[in-house]
Amino acid sequence: MREDSMLPSGVTLKNGAVGARLAATSRTTDLYSSKRDALPGASGADGSSSKRERLAAPKRPSQALATVSGSPNAFPVRRAQVQVNGEPFHVIEQGQGPAVLFCHGFPDTAETWRSQMRAVAEAGYRAVALDMRGYGASYAPADVSLYTSLHIVGDLVGVLDALEIQSAVLVGHDWGADYAQRAMVMRPDRFRALVSLSIPYAPRGEISLWEELRRRGLGERYYAANMIKPEAEARYAPAAKTIPSILYWLSASPPPDARWDPLDPARGMLRPSPMAVPSWADPDYVQHTIRSFEKTGFQGGLNYYRVLQITFDLTAAFKNAVIHQPSLYLYGAADGLCQFFHPTPPTPADLRQAQPGLVDVIRLEHAGHWPQHEEASRVNAELIKFLGTIGAPQ
Residues 166-177: pLDDT tens digits?
999 999 999 999
Higher pLDDT: 69 or 226? It is: 226
Catalytic residue among 151, 173, 369, 373: 369
Looking at the chain, the whole-number percentage of residues with pLDDT higher than 70 is 82
- Tell me what pLDDT residue 78 has: 96
> Is the pLDDT at 311 greater than 90, yes or no?
yes
Residue 305 pLDDT > 50, yes or no?
Answer: yes
- 1 pLDDT tier (thresholds 50, 70, 90): low
Average pLDDT of the chain? 85
Give the pLDDT mean for 282-308.
Answer: 98
- CA 259, CA 261: separation in Å to the nearest integer? 6
> Taking the C-alpha atoms of 12, 225, 311 and 300 in order, what is their torsion angle to the nearest 10 degrees?
-140
**Stronger pLDDT, 174 or 37, i.e. the higher one:** 174
**Which range, of 13-27, 92-106, 311-325, averages the lowest pLDDT?**
13-27
C-beta atoms surrounding 188 within 10 Å? 14
Answer yes or no: 369 catalytic.
yes
Q: Which of 174, 178, 261, 335 is catalytic?
A: 174
CB 319 within 8 A of CB 206: yes
Catalytic (active site) residue 366: no
Q: pLDDT tens-digit profile of 96-124?
A: 999 999 999 999 999 999 999 999 999 99
pLDDT at 34 over 70: no
- 93 closest CA partner among 66, 64, 53: 66
pLDDT of 210 over the 90 cut: no
Question: pTM of the entire structure?
Answer: 0.83
Amino acid at 258: A
Active site residue 305: yes
Q: pLDDT tens for residues 182-207?
A: 999 999 999 999 999 999 999 999 99
Give dist(CA 379, CA 117) in Å, integer: 11
pLDDT at residue 114 in the model: 97
Please pick, among 32, 135, 222, 305, the residue that the annotation labels catalytic.
305
Contact in structure between 157 and 133 (CB atoms under 8 Å): no
